[in-house]
Amino acid sequence: MIVHSVGWAPCRKLRAGVRITLSSLIRRHVWPRIVLGQAAWAVICALLITQVPWTRRSVPAVVFRAGLLPTFASVWFDRRKG
């Protein structure tokens, strides 16, 4: 976790009502769930592209484009919302 590498001491000084953890953020709001899903999808696609020995070049290209779809969808959704 990034929080552990930065240090937990600054968070301990905050009041209990101010502290927020990653799990509570994901539980409370929808948008962090979407972002977490996009990140997981991107990691899965990257692992598929790099770790599986593909014989045809078209399959990794399709997986790459499938990995970009959630990002473009969120950009389109945010542009419409604003």
Nearest in space to 44 (alpha carbons), one of 22, 69, 63? 63
pLDDT digits (tens, 9 = 90+) for 25-37: 777 778 778 888 8
> From CA 37, how far away is CA 21, in angstroms rounded?
18
pLDDT confidence tier of residue 1, bands split at 50, 70 and 90: very low
- Alpha helices (runs of H) in 2-57, residue ranges in sequence order: 2-6, 9-12, 22-28, 30-51
* Residue 67 amino acid letter: G
Average pLDDT over residues 14-23: 62
pLDDT digits (tens, 9 = 90+) for 39-76: 889 899 999 999 989 888 898 999 999 998 888 888 88
Name which residue leads in pLDDT, 59 or 12: 59
Q: Domain locations in the chain? A: 2-81
Task: Please tell me the predicted confidence (pLDDT) of residue 78.
Answer: 75
> From CA 6, how far away is CA 19, in angstroms rounded?
16
